[in-house]
């Protein structure tokens, strides 16, 4: 009986020693230790996952049409490289790595990225995830040209959201010269897709001097404004 008691006592002390070895601070430390282990494992898992998480979903702009002078960023995700800068050149093209010049003018970022993707996958990539975004839009929309009897002939910059009209363009050109025929100012539109030109005759005396601004006409890039010389009576 005594021997049996000693064996039981020894077994109990051994079990306690094993528990103490695993959790030196006692039973109270068990939950904290377990939580710490889970926390460390979760942190490691999150860190590991973070390296494999795909790029944040990107939606290419499908509304803004690219113009000459726009600065873009270009990236192929499969290359695992930082975005590269692109410029829409005077030709309306961008110089794309691997494939060379691609027409960008009047395309949206979405259309341009799809065009580049198709060309890359023809020869260089099994799959290419192409991202094109506008870094800085060119605010210069185009130029309007004013000739004839104005103080300063030449080109006038037309900016985005400028709301430039014939009257405003003449004022930016310094106003009428001394012998201007204000009643027969001509606005010559740039040729349309069919090569057809439109000419509009305006009485700028009514518009600028009599205040009938509702008769003024908005100009478009590449329009010409011609201010003729009035007849002189001696």
CA 183 to chain centre: 44
- Per-residue pLDDT at 19: 39
Q: How high is the pLDDT of residue 56?
A: 45
Query: How far is residue 169 from each of residues 145, 165, 186, 202, measured CA to CA in Å?
Result: 9, 6, 13, 13
Q: Tell me, rounded to whole angstroms, the distance of Cα 5 from its chain centroid.
A: 84
Q: Distance from first CA to last CA of the chain, Å, rounded?
A: 149
pLDDT in tens, 82-128: 999 999 999 999 999 999 999 999 999 999 999 999 999 999 999 99
Alpha carbon distance 222, 129 (integer Å) = 37
- The whole-number pLDDT of residue 196 equals 84
Nearest CA-CA partner of 135 in 84, 98, 195, 198? 84
- Give CATH for domain 140-227: 3.10.560.10
Q: Could you give the CA distance from residue 60 to residue 39 in angstroms, rounded to a whole number?
A: 38
71-136 adopts what CATH topology?
A: wza like fold (3.30.1950)
Ranges of residues in the chain with a pLDDT under 50 are 1-2, 4-56
- The residues facing 118 across adjacent strands are none
Give this prediction's pTM: 0.56
What's the rounded Cα separation, in Å, for the pair 74 and 210? 53
Q: According to the model, what pLDDT value does residue 62 have?
A: 82
- How many Å apart are CA 61 and CA 68, to the nearest integer? 17
Q: How far apart are CA 92 and CA 89, in angstroms?
A: 5
**What is the structure's pLDDT at 162?**
86
Closest CA to 108 of 62, 68, 160: 62
Domain residue limits, the chain: 10-40, 71-136, 140-227
Alpha-carbon dihedral of residues 209, 213, 214, 220, nearest 10 degrees? 120
């Amino acid at each position: 009986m005594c021997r049996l008691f000693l064996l039981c006592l020894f077994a109990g002390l051994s079990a306690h020693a094993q528990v103490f070895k695993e959790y030196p601070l006692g039973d109270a430390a068990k939950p904290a230790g377990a939580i710490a282990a889970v926390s460390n494992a979760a942190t490691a898992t999150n860190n590991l996952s973070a390296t494999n998480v795909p790029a944040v979903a990107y939606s290419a702009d499908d509304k803004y049409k690219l113009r000459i002078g726009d600065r873009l960023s270009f990236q192929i995700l499969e290359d695992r490289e930082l975005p590269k800068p692109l410029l829409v050149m005077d030709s309306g093209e961008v110089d794309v790595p691997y494939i060379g010049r691609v027409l960008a003018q009047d395309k949206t970022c979405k259309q341009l990225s799809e065009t580049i993707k198709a060309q890359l996958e023809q020869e260089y990539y099994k799959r290419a995830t192409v991202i094109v975004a506008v870094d800085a839009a060119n605010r210069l929309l185009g130029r309007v040209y004013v000739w004839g009897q104005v103080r300063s002939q030449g080109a006038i910059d037309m900016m985005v959201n400028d709301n430039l009209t014939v009257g405003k363009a003449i004022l930016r050109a310094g106003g009428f010269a001394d012998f201007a025929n204000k009643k027969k100012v001509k606005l010559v539109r740039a040729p349309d897709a069919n090569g057809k030109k439109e000419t509009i005759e305006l009485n700028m005396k009514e518009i600028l001097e009599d205040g009938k601004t509702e008769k003024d006409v908005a100009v478009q890039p590449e329009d010409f404004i011609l201010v003729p010389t009035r007849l002189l009576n001696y």
